[in-house]
Structure 1
């Protein structure tokens, strides 16, 4: 976890993190890669650093690269590679990454980038819930509602929390990923008020917050009249996605 918060981020902080990454620290490679990719818009260098961490079996780096492949982040919609996303997700899931387990479960249930296998998908979703609960109870035995730690990345180093004109942040409070192009993220098809970088973030936010806030609205349209640029999230179906 970084000791330097977003508002205190500086060139010296960046240099120190780079020194750690250059010395082979895997966590530093991942964190600096995420900062460069999402916050500094240095996509090539950021992805390369995350890949360096992923090669060393860093689960969060593998999952982050999977999200990039699923969304075609840093490129166009045609740059999505669902099969690569599933492969990266499967590796992260094997290493015990909870969000990757959940994402892989949804991919298998929906046949998204992989041959559909509803039973196997359900098994991964149940496993994700079990892992999540075990982590929470180990950290705080009296906890009732699980919550995911915020990614250290999505400190908005230069923009103070604003991703850019026309771009949106993932609505799950434990994520904060920004879009790299307009309409990159999925939007709730019921209320149109929330956006998600992944099915894992959608499912978590539904359980923690959005389930009690989501209300059907008249069919929304984008401000400029364009259609949604990614698969829309079906908020109505999220009750079934709680994997209870």
Structure 2
């Protein structure tokens, strides 16, 4: 490129003039970014990683410059990365992605440990390492890890039917419920009502089911659902009443049974990975995948999951997934199964 003063850019290999050297030194001296302490840059990168909405948000920051690339892999930054940072698609999984997840897990990131644990346990059938990674996150009070381990204990996943640990499942579920996990609250409520793995206590079970509905209602209010904001289409009075004769029946219902249309809930990145992985791969045609599209968990042995007691078609890994699928549309599609009667029974 030429100007009135000649070439604007020197030719390749041409020696740098003294004026250009002065400009370069002045640019380096006046560049504020280069004089920032590493602690400040680390705090910026921690903010970027903790608020990332996709893996690309964090990767783009690492590719900005060499300094970001070096400081972005600091254990402090990796330990604070958000769950969406690990929302890798199943078709994009690679050894480098595995190494990145493992590096974040070693740095103390519970989301990385949980997501990698789910992938190892269900996708690669590495039960020991997968459960260990989820336990690593559960120790640090990560509610999804506690609930997933509870499901594994309830179903005896990865082993035979005789290895179910109902007491252990209830204990893990109770810990996740204490942290406010809605599915864990609902699962624990049904366990108490049915006496499944714990002493039967219908009143306490109803209390947990009410709390699960209340938390689900609060989540709907927080996103300002149009159905909830229009009072003429939603009747919350039965839900808000506590001491009437129908309270036992009401507390067992879901929010959708009161006319509230719940929006689709964005599932955890690990569940989205499982959905994509088993959507294209069928490890065994005799094994089923949880019918709730936001789950993605597969069976580890035949007849591990429960069927819907009404239609007998849908399969669920837990009551939490069954409740969510019912809310998301199965309540409209569920039809009683047609039972085949014994034609010879009438002749007796």
Which of residues 168, 174, 193 in structure 1 aligns to 2:294? 174
Given that 2:225 and 2:263 are in contact with CA atoms closer than 8 Å, whether structure 1 keeps it comes out as no
Separation of aligned partners in 2, 1:205 and 1:137: 20
User: What's the RMSD between the two structures over aligned residues?
Assistant: 1.8
- 2:281 is matched with 162
Separation of aligned partners in 2, 1:170 and 1:113: 22
Residue 301 of structure 2 is aligned to residue 204 of structure 1: no
Could you report, residue by residue, the CA deviation over 1:196-221 in whole angstroms, capped at 9, with x for unpaired residues?
0011211221222211111123348x
Given that 1:40 and 1:158 are in contact with CA atoms closer than 8 Å, whether structure 2 keeps it comes out as no
Could you report, residue by residue, the CA deviation over 1:122-142 in whole angstroms, capped at 9, with x for unpaired residues?
111111111112123323454
Q: Which moved more, 1:175-184 or 1:44-53?
A: 175-184
Could you report, residue by residue, the CA deviation over 1:37-75 in whole angstroms, capped at 9, with x for unpaired residues?
011110000000000101001011000000000000000
Q: How many residues align?
A: 220
Structure 2, unmatched stretches of 5+, are 1-83, 228-260, 341-348
Runs of 4+ displaced beyond 6 Å: none
Which of residues 130, 134, 149 in structure 2 aligns to 1:65? 149
Could you report, residue by residue, the CA deviation over 1:79-134 in whole angstroms, capped at 9, with x for unpaired residues?
11111100000000000111100100110111110111111111111111111121
Following superposition, the deviation at residue 146 of structure 1 comes to 4.3
- 1:119 is matched with 203
Structure 1 residues 114 and 187, CA, compared in 2 at 3 Å: closer, same or farther?
A: same
Residue 338 of structure 2 is aligned to residue 218 of structure 1: yes
Separation of aligned partners in 2, 1:115 and 1:182: 29
Which of residues 143, 147, 163 in structure 2 aligns to 1:79? 163
TM-score normalized by the length of structure 1:
0.84
Separation of aligned partners in 1, 2:115 and 2:266: 14
Structure 1 residues 147 and 83, CA, compared in 2 at 3 Å: closer, same or farther?
A: farther
Separation of aligned partners in 2, 1:71 and 1:163: 20
- 1:149 is matched with 266
Following superposition, the deviation at residue 174 of structure 1 comes to 2.1
Residue 160 of structure 2 is aligned to residue 41 of structure 1: no
Q: Which moved more, 1:89-98 or 1:152-161?
A: 152-161
Could you report, residue by residue, the CA deviation over 1:1-35 in whole angstroms, capped at 9, with x for unpaired residues?
23422222222111111110011111111111111
The structure showing larger relative contact order (alpha-carbon pairs under 8 Å, at least 6 residues apart) is: 1
TM-score normalized by the length of structure 2:
0.60
Given that 2:225 and 2:262 are in contact with CA atoms closer than 8 Å, whether structure 1 keeps it comes out as no
Residue 102 of structure 2 is aligned to residue 18 of structure 1: yes
Which of residues 189, 197, 215 in structure 1 aligns to 2:309? 189
Separation of aligned partners in 2, 1:3 and 1:158: 13
Given that 2:87 and 2:270 are in contact with CA atoms closer than 8 Å, whether structure 1 keeps it comes out as no
- 2:116 is matched with 32
Separation of aligned partners in 1, 2:216 and 2:133: 27
- 2:185 is matched with 101
Structure 1 residues 190 and 75, CA, compared in 2 at 3 Å: closer, same or farther?
A: same
Structure 1 residues 159 and 149, CA, compared in 2 at 3 Å: closer, same or farther?
A: closer
